[in-house]
Chain A
Amino acid sequence: MLTRISGGRIIDPTTGRDEIGDLWIEDARIIAPPARAADLDCDASGTVVLAGAIDIHSHIAGAHVNTARLLLPELHDGAMFAGAPPGEWIGRLFAAMGYTTVVEPAISPHNALQAQRELSAIPFIDKAILSVLGNDDFTLRLIRAGETTALADYAARTLGASGGLGIKAINPGGAVAFRENARSFSLDDEVPRWGLSSRAIMRALQGAVTALGVPHPLHLHSNNLGLPDNVETALATIAAAEGERLHLAHLQFYSYGAEGPRKFSSAAARLAEAVNAAPNISVDVGQVMFGQTVTVSSDILRQFNAIPHASPRKFAITEAGGNDGGIVPYHYRRKNFFNAVQFAAGLELFLLLHDPWRVFFTTDHPNGAPFTAYPDLFALLMDRDLRARWIAELPADAMAMTTLPSLTREYDWREIAIMTRAAPARLLGLRDRGHLAPGARADIAVYRPQADRAAMFRNAEMVFKDGNLILRRGEVVRRHFGRALRIAPGFDRAIEPRLEAYYDQVFGVPLQAFDVPEAAIARTDQPAFESVPCRT
């Protein structure tokens, strides 16, 4: 079928296009304007036409997200709980906002099967997982032994078996320290029993990712999340990368100083300066928005320490040797000094980081806020008057600990399109997504500008996935299922017998018990996986 989206303002930073024009689609791809009449003409006059948005960091599946659902039935009662909605609503609400690809960033190798199965039940969007390494015993063994090549083979084997798109490390070494009874853990602390620092684990995994040609750089959840003065950790982590590519997740949670009467301040301006000066670093923000949510993290040390702040007062912690999870519900409040500083620090990062190709739009769903808060966040970035109205509602002593009130920058459409489309596609190595050139996958979001920008982003005028019109103003036009994106770098199979022997000896189970074969998530109508090529 030949479809034309006509008369909209097409903004495509990858090709530099920004003009009123037509977009043509045939067989799930964008094509050059043909000399034929369209079978379906979608009038887009007065709208803005962008590629489908790509979210690089939202916790939408896996055993820990599911535990969050099970922990909080009272929040599901009546209204659906945005902190951990059922898969059906994840797909629908993301797609309504114009999102067509979402990455679940923290799936440990032992939980991959469940995560992929959950993702396969999410309609409308494409999905991917990042595979977590860095607290598992086998990784530490290889690093301690200096087995660089074997580490890369192991990472590749894990990606292949889990169907991962990249490698994530979460407070590397911190979970091992936790189970050895540590109460805190930082970049150069030694992992008990191992003689390795977090820095060493991070560097080794960066090396493995580079050696394998995985497009996405190591995705790092750093040490000391959420603590006063942790900006020092963030700055030291940036320096520790030594110029090699590194993605720092939810940087807002590391942008705190210890100034002021309450020994808690925003150090976002200082951190932004360091990121601006380090072209090897990309970051996503992890913005805090106010309201009830639930924190879901494999940083078990941090989650354990968060238990006293739980709201409602309950928690679920699973210690599982690098496959850990901690679920702690939390309510961010406007009138809370600390929460207000966190909110401001996130916006400061958005506004002070100059290069939209290296800063990504996230709330670390659901840790900073449910993804359903995105529309309000887009509106805040694009409108300084709206920001001023929000700031006026916040505690003055908190605002005094930030630079936010002085910032006047407003994001324009092009910057939004880079940050949420072009840049994530590039960061993840998705060559046919995030842009609108002929050959691109026809994942397209059409927005109708209006005074209420949040309303505009909440329900896009039209959303196309694989060339099909799937939603119009939030209403489902056509049910559709996407695929799971994965990368499968080649590796020396000699690692497998080693791993098999290890699993047999340590766990008493076969290594293959954790694998995700295509048959486990296959749909009858299309392939379950789509493979993304490695860097060459």
Chain B
Amino acid sequence: MTALAWIAGRETARDAAIAAIAERLVASANPLIAGLATDIAGAEAAHDLARHVGAVLDHRDSPTLLADLDAMRSHGWLVTTPLEARAMADCVVLVGTAAADFPLSPPPFAPERARRVFRLTDETIPRTLGLLRATLAGRRITVPDDLAAIAQALRAARYAVIAWSAAELPPLAIEMLCHIIEDLNETTRCFGLPTPPPGNASGVAQALAWKSGLPTRIGFARGRPEHDPWRFDAARMIAARETDCVLWIGDGAPLVPAGMFLAALAPDDLGPGQAEIVIRTATPGRDSDAILFDPMIGALRFQRATAPQSALSPPAAILDAIAARCDRAVAAC
């Protein structure tokens, strides 16, 4: 049988590793539960554990997630879904290099309309978008021909879609795009299509929102959830030694300063020596059934395990077991 848990690089019983993590979480003054590249059940369980021990929660891909979220919650946005964009758009503008390509075939909901697809890549995207917005607003400025063509196509389109990835755009560019879309809706239809970050970040943010009301970077130290994108930034907290105990869920465990406790609930690509305690988990969706955000449909989706592995527990089960051990540890003092 393959090994499932290690303490200080030595193979150990999984229950012992679970108990040891619980002990450290309970003893910690400011525990951090991060990574969170996991499924919905994992996110829900991580939330419950964090609330229980007063920990901070942060997702690995929070910066991208929050870049889009900040555009929405600071002003507002008009967006669509990948399915609707595919079925309806007669004009698509892909901003940057990361937004996925779009088929040129006519939109199935309006097959008589041709579909035009543009990609806008530029060293100075915020400035370019500023020019685009000014052009669309009818300002008399000189812009490059390709930009003028995009402006003309957006104005003429019946249903345009502007797609981007927050991973590569500065906040100002996303904000500008939201304003361009809003302006266009005064006369026609145009919607944004943000590219979801990897690591099921969108799904985890949804689960944390229905559990706590807040998306990520949540602290429970005061007994109620608080959201602070700066204060509860896992990388910053680790670098500033604001935590003494890190429980990392999913791949990509960080290096931590000497003396800082690190435990990892990791799929099989993590070596046993990379953290003080390692518990190998199922990869949700592959080894175990899971609910994950599916970027193709833009929604949560139930996925049967493609290669079921009953020997490996999903992260949620390990987190629940840790929480149960924390109960006992709390009761003991």
Chain A residues within 8 Å of B, Cβ to Cβ: 61, 63, 66, 69-73, 76-77, 80-81, 84-88, 110-111, 113-114, 117-118, 121, 137, 178-181, 193, 304, 307, 310, 313-321, 323, 505-509, 513-517, 519-520
A506–B158 CB distance below 8 A: no
Q: Pick the residue among A85, A315, A520 that contacts B213 (CB under 8 A).
A: A85
Give every chain A residue within 8 A of B213 (Cβ-Cβ).
69, 73, 76, 80-81, 84-86
Chain B interface size, as a band, is 35 or more
Residues A319 and B80 in contact, CB atoms below 8 Å apart: yes
Which residue of the partner chain B has the closest CB to A515?
Answer: B302
Interface residues of B in 274-333 (CB under 8 A from A): 289, 291, 294, 296-302
Pairwise interchain contact A71-B214, C-beta atoms closer than 8 A: no
CB of B179 within 8 Å of the partner chain:
no
Q: Is the CB of A181 within 8 A of B76?
A: no
Is B110 in the interface zone, CB < 8 Å from A?
A: yes
Distance in angstroms from B81 CB to nearest chain A CB is 5
Stretch in B185-193, B236-244, B247-255, B263-271 touching the partner: B185-193
Q: Is the CB of B158 within 8 A of A110?
A: no
Report the separation of the CA atoms of residues A114 and B109 in the bound assembly, to the nearest whole angstrom: 26
Q: Is there an interface contact between B108 and A506, defined as CB atoms closer than 8 Å?
A: yes
* A317 engages B211 (CB within 8 Å): no
A321 and B84: CB pair below 8 A?
yes
A117 touches B83 (CB 8 A): no
Given A117-B300, A321-B84, is A69 in contact with B210 using a C-beta cutoff of 8 Å?
Answer: yes
Is A519 in contact with B209, judged by CB distance below 8 angstroms?
no
In the complex the two chains form, is B214's CB within 8 Å of A121's CB?
no
Q: Contacting A69 at CB < 8 Å: which of B87, B110, B209, B291?
A: B209
The winner among B76, B206, B212, B227 for most chain A CB atoms within 10 A is B76
A–B complex contacts, Cβ < 8 Å, 25 sampled: A66-B210, A69-B213, A70-B209, A70-B214, A73-B227, A76-B213, A76-B214, A87-B210, A110-B297, A114-B300, A121-B44, A179-B159, A181-B158, A307-B76, A314-B74, A315-B77, A320-B84, A320-B298, A323-B81, A323-B84, A506-B86, A509-B297, A514-B297, A514-B299, A515-B302
Are B87 and A321 within 8 A (Cβ)? yes
Q: Nearest-CB distance from B80 to chain A (Å)?
A: 5
Measured in the bound complex, the distance between the Cα atoms of B213 and A323 in whole Å is 22
The interface residues of chain B lying within 8 Å CB-to-CB of A506 are: 86-87, 108-109
A507 vs B89: C-alpha distance when bound (angstroms): 12
- B78 at interface, CB cutoff 8 A: yes
A77 close to B78 (CB less than 8 A): no
Q: CB distance A310 to B206 under 8 Å? A: no
Q: Are A76 and B227 in contact (CB under 8 A)?
A: yes
Separation of A179 and B84 alpha carbons in the complex (Å) = 10
Chain B residues within an 8 Å CB radius of A520 = 289, 291, 302
Q: What is the chain A residue whose CB lies nearest that of B294?
A: A513
Report whether A316 and B302 are in contact in the complex, using a CB–CB cutoff of 8 Å.
no
B interface residues with partner A (beta carbon < 8 Å): 40, 44, 69, 72-81, 83-84, 86-88, 108-110, 158-159, 185, 188-189, 191, 205-206, 209-215, 225-227, 289, 291, 294, 296-302
Taking the nearest CB of chain A, how far is it from the CB of B90, in angstroms? 11
Q: Which 7 A-B pairs have the closest CB atoms?
A: A315-B76, A520-B302, A314-B76, A114-B300, A506-B108, A76-B213, A317-B78
Residues of A within 8 A of B210 (CB): 61, 66, 69, 86-87, 118, 121
Contact flag A111-B299 (CB < 8 Å), given A181-B189, A193-B110: yes
Determine how close the nearest CB of chain A comes to the CB of B134; give it in whole angstroms.
Answer: 23
Q: Which of B159, B215, B226, B297 contacts A513 (CB 8 A)?
A: B297
The reply to whether B209 and A509 contact each other, CB–CB distance below 8 Å, is no
B214 touches A73 (CB 8 A): yes
- Out of B77, B185, B188, B302, which one reaches A517, CB within 8 Å? B302
How far, in whole Å, are A178 and B189 apart by their CA atoms in the complex? 9
Q: Which chain A residues border B79 with CB–CB below 8 Å?
A: 316-319
- A71-B73 contact given A86-B213, A193-B110, CB 8 Å threshold: yes
**A77–B227 touching, CB < 8 Å:** yes
Q: Are B69 and A70 in contact (CB under 8 A)?
A: yes
A319's contact among B191, B226, B300, by CB below 8 Å, is which?
A: B191
State whether B302 touches A516 (Cβ < 8 A). yes
> Is there an interface contact between B81 and A320, defined as CB atoms closer than 8 Å?
yes
Cross-chain contact B88 with A179 (CB below 8 angstroms) = yes
A317 and B77 form a contact (CB under 8 A) = yes
Chain B residues whose CB sits within 8 angstroms of the CB of A178 once the complex forms:
189
Distance in Å: Cβ of B219 to nearest Cβ of chain A: 12
User: Known: A113-B302, A181-B189. Contact between A314 and B75, CB under 8 A?
Assistant: yes
Out of B109, B206, B294, name the residue touching A63 (CB < 8 Å).
B206
Given A113-B302, A321-B88, residue A71 in contact with residue B72 (CB < 8 A): yes
Which residues of chain B are near A179, meaning CB under 8 Å? 88, 159, 189
Determine which of A70, A85, A121, A318 lies in contact with B81 in the assembled complex, contact meaning CB atoms within 8 Å. A318
Contacts of B188 in A (CB 8 A): 181
Instruction: Pick the residue among A121, A193, A310, A321 that contacts B211 (CB under 8 A).
Output: A121
The residues of A that contact B87 with a CB separation of less than 8 Å are 137, 321, 506-507
Which chain B positions have C-beta within 8 A of A318? Answer: 79-81
CB pair A321–B86 under 8 Å, yes or no, is no
* B83:A320 contact, CB within 8 angstroms: yes
Q: Are A113 and B214 in contact, CB atoms less than 8 angstroms apart?
A: no
B330 to chain A minimum Cβ distance, whole angstroms, is: 17
13 additional A-B pairs beyond A70-B209, A72-B73, A520-B302, beta carbons within 8 Å, are A73-B73, A73-B215, A81-B213, A85-B213, A86-B210, A113-B299, A114-B300, A117-B291, A121-B44, A310-B76, A320-B83, A321-B84, A514-B301
- CB-based nearest B residue for A519: B289
B18 → chain A closest CB, angstroms: 18
Q: Which residues of B contact A180 (CB under 8 A)?
A: 158, 189
Residue contact A304 to B227, C-beta cutoff 8 Å:
no
Known: A63-B206, A69-B209. A509 touches B44 (CB 8 A): no
| A88 x B211 contact (CB < 8 A) | yes
Note all chain B residues with C-beta closer than 8 A to A72: 73
